[in-house]
Amino acid sequence: MIGVSILLVDDHPIVREGYRRLLERQPGFRVVAEADNAGAAYQIYRDVSPDVAIMDLSLPGAGGLEAIRHIRQWDKRARILVFTMHCGSAFALKAFDAGAAGYVTKSSDATELIKAVANVARGGRALSDDIAREIAAERIGNGASLVESLGPRETEILRMIASGKTTEEIAALLNLSAKTVQNYHYQIKSKIGARTDAHLVWLAIGAGIVEVENAN
């Protein structure tokens, strides 16, 4: 693969440096820009128009799902590869719903990331083996994720609620009115059968939408 420009989005500078070195050891791969949050990712994407954006989902403020959605709204041809610690099928499916072209977990071998970048740059799709097995097991078992009925924005708002963000904070981060966020909150509770906000948080944890240490 020749001449692949890459935008690397992760909120940990040391992590970005490590993956930058890994990627730039590959012939033709070039990290042209970096971002540490969703807003910066969107602005920088517009500035540099990379061939591939490698996107973490766990970002401060608005998360990776929101960044994917915004970038794809601006550029329908955007090629976005999610590279994250989230290893559940729920987040992977929501990432694809939002417009991602690939999903690789950080527990995967480095060769999987390199292969995924090349596939996505060519206009293809990519899925790490562990996520492929997770999705297959769920489908074979006729299982349904708790959040399957939620859209990408609803999933992102659920993550933010379960992470302890207030209505006002979510509204500011997503450029929505507080009333709109409250409406989303009510719709999410109704769709997933949450009786209370505390129940909502535990359902989000169980679905892998938020990790226990990030739930307040």
- Cα separation, 67 vs 109, in Å, equals 25
The answer to whether 4-140 and 152-214 have equal CATH topology is no
Condensed to tens digits (0 to 9), the pLDDT of residues 117-176 reads: 999 999 888 888 888 777 666 655 544 566 677 888 888 898 888 888 889 999 998 889
Q: Rounded to two decimals, what is the model's pTM?
A: 0.69
In 3D, which of 82, 47, 76 has the Cα closest to residue 63? 82
**CATH code for residues 152-214:** 1.10.10.10
Q: What is the pLDDT of residue 81?
A: 96
**CATH match of 4-140 with 3.30.420.40:** no
Instruction: Kindly provide the residue ranges of all beta strands, DSSP E only, lying in 2-64, ordered along the sequence.
Output: 4-9, 29-35, 52-55
Tokens of 147: 């959040």
- Cα separation, 160 vs 162, in Å, equals 5
- Cα separation, 80 vs 28, in Å, equals 18
- Contact between residue 156 and residue 62 where contact means Cβ atoms under 8 Å apart: yes
Q: What is the pLDDT of residue 121?
A: 93
Domain map of the chain by residue range? 4-140, 152-214
